Amino acid sequence: MTTGTVLQGESVVLTCFQKSAPDAGRLAGRLAATLRRLGDQAGWRALEEQVARSATGGAQPVQVEIHGLGARADFDAGRLGKWLDGVVSAASREGRKEVTIVLPDHEAAKGRRALQVLLPVLLSGYEYRRFRAKRARPSLRKLLLLPPTGEDESYAVALRLARSLMRGVKTCRDLGNTPPNEATPEWMAEQAAGLAAKKGLDCQVLGPEEMEKMGMGGILAVGGGSAHPPRLVRLEWGEGEDVISFVGKGITFDTGGISIKPSPAMEEMKYDKCGACTVLGVTQVVSELGLPGRFRAYMPLAENMPDGSSYRPSDIVRCYNGKTVEILNTDAEGRMILADAMSWAAAEKADTLVELSTLTGASVVALGHQGAALYTPDDPLSKELLLAASHTGERLWRMPLWPEFSEDMKGVHADLRNLGSRWGGANNAAAFLGNFVGRTRRWAHLDIAGTAYRASREEADSGATGFGVNLLVDWLLRRTGRF
């Protein structure tokens, strides 16, 4: 994909708002004449999703399309992204080779928004095809985007960032989509180590023996029933006094363990590693862009399987920070591996700690698949993350950390229990994690269970979404004053 000011290709796509004339300012000759003819035809009202098309005359005809965007006042970045994705997907599906898209003259496509315009276009048509024998559908050879007038420089700067973001999101999606017979804890650790070697990052991978010496009973308990031993990956890069740490849940497959899950939709549990995948995607982008600051990433990786050596309901497990946890349900395993990783991040004096996990079905009940739950005791951090979410379209909704939820997670024979009451399950889980942040007051937990993947047997873009990569990079760009 390129941006520029020269119209070319076999088709040109333009837009029009209601009660406005099509903008022919960048067109000349037969292209402009064809556009005016489309705008003057009976029935054209520029309604949202209304499309008019016609080919120019001449020896090399060009198809001109005009797309209605509805009322200008109702248009926003979300609708722009959806429209762009539809146009690019349709062009690929129809086998077109070269297409020019003239972006609308609207605030949603200007300035800092350029990055969020370019990213969905670059990601459009993504499919996970590693295990497919069938050839991929035809794709565009060249796509030219024309920015709104005066925005060429913004788009030129944004294109480099967008390409890096695209690679990070694709890394996250590819890892999330990889099946569990390949994506074991060892394999995931190898992918992280490979990325670290390419980007020059410090990498440490802990196996069961190292974790036992460090007292990381949570990860060892969860991974004890699997033939594939658990791992804990730690990455570090950059310089500076303040440390920003990311923690991502990496359950490579979750049967529920002894408290086994029902069989319907269990195949979706390969996505229980998506928190770790997001953290690795963010690591790739941040290191590639060379964002200033000191960063660490922690990825606890385990497979939760039922076996003679699995942990059991009523077991008591001691975590890295010394706190003990009574196991009521082995399917509440994510919080157990996060307890060790978050404790380690806190012990290494993280100034800001952001954790992502597909932690609870309760968060999906509360927010559906339209947004992720945000938990943090820090109001400024909440505002920063919500601002980034509003910009990228990866919705967050702040949820409560009331003291009653912490009370509900206190144990009878141990300091804590890993399962609270039926009500407010996502809140109880977040409160549990609050016991493992030490003195780190600036911390946030993002429950991405409803947004990390799309489950569909028909749609080509089903699977891991890469949720959180764009959001966290945007947050860091704002913190560092970049773009």
pLDDT per residue, tens digit, the chain (483 aa), is 555 544 556 789 989 999 988 776 667 777 878 888 888 888 899 899 999 988 877 767 888 889 999 999 999 888 898 899 889 888 888 888 889 999 999 999 999 899 999 998 899 878 898 898 876 555 677 888 999 989 999 999 999 999 999 999 999 999 999 999 999 999 999 999 999 999 999 999 999 999 999 999 999 999 999 999 999 999 999 999 999 999 999 999 999 999 999 999 999 999 999 999 999 999 999 999 999 999 999 999 999 999 999 999 999 999 999 999 999 999 999 999 999 999 999 999 999 999 999 999 999 999 999 999 999 999 999 999 999 999 998 999 999 999 999 999 999 999 999 999 989 999 999 999 999 999 999 999 999 999 999 987 656 668 999 999 999 999 999 998 876
Judge if 288 and 424 occupy the same domain: yes
Domain boundary (149, 179, 211) is at: 149
Q: Residues 160, 163, 261, 398: which is the catalytic one?
A: 261
What pLDDT does residue 42 have? 82
Quote the domain boundaries for residue 238.
166-480
**Is residue 383 assigned to a domain?**
yes
Judge if 343 and 454 occupy the same domain: yes
Q: How many CA atoms lie within 13 A of 398 on its CB side?
A: 17
Q: How far apart are CA 250 and CA 214, in angstroms?
A: 19
**Is residue 337 assigned to a domain?**
yes
Catalytic site includes residue 261: yes
Contact 38, 15 (CB under 8 A): no
Judge if 249 and 283 occupy the same domain: yes
Judge if 209 and 119 occupy the same domain: no
User: Which tokens go with 422?
Assistant: 């039926």
Look at the chain and report how many structural domains it folds into: 2
What pLDDT does residue 459 have? 64
- Which CATH number belongs to the domain containing residue 43 in this structure? 3.40.220.10
Contact 289, 311 (CB under 8 A): no
**Is residue 322 assigned to a domain?**
yes
Judge if 469 and 426 occupy the same domain: yes
Judge if 92 and 228 occupy the same domain: no
**Is residue 428 assigned to a domain?**
yes
Q: Residues 110, 335, 417, 442: which is the catalytic one?
A: 335
**Is residue 196 assigned to a domain?**
yes
Judge if 75 and 219 occupy the same domain: no
What pLDDT does residue 3 have? 57
Nearest alpha carbon to residue 444 among 372, 392, 390: 372
Nearest alpha carbon to residue 451 among 405, 394, 404: 394
Domain boundary (84, 115, 149) is at: 149
What pLDDT does residue 457 have? 63
Partners of 64 in beta bridges: 12, 54
**Is residue 200 assigned to a domain?**
yes
What pLDDT does residue 47 have? 93
Q: What angle do CA 5, 10, 11 make, to 5 degrees?
A: 70
Q: What phi, psi does 131 have (nearest 5°)?
A: -110, 20
CA 105, 111, 116, 119 dihedral sign is positive
Catalytic site includes residue 231: no
Judge if 336 and 421 occupy the same domain: yes
**Is residue 130 assigned to a domain?**
yes
Judge if 213 and 279 occupy the same domain: yes
Place of tokens 């292209």: 31
Judge if 181 and 86 occupy the same domain: no
What pLDDT does residue 5 have? 46
**Is residue 154 assigned to a domain?**
no
Query: Based on the number of CB atoms within 10 Å of its own CB, is 97 exposed (0-12), middle (13-18) or buried (19 or more)?
Result: middle
What pLDDT does residue 7 have? 55
Contact 164, 289 (CB under 8 A): yes
Judge if 41 and 80 occupy the same domain: yes
Judge if 245 and 315 occupy the same domain: yes
- Which CATH number belongs to the domain containing residue 408 in this structure? 3.40.630.10
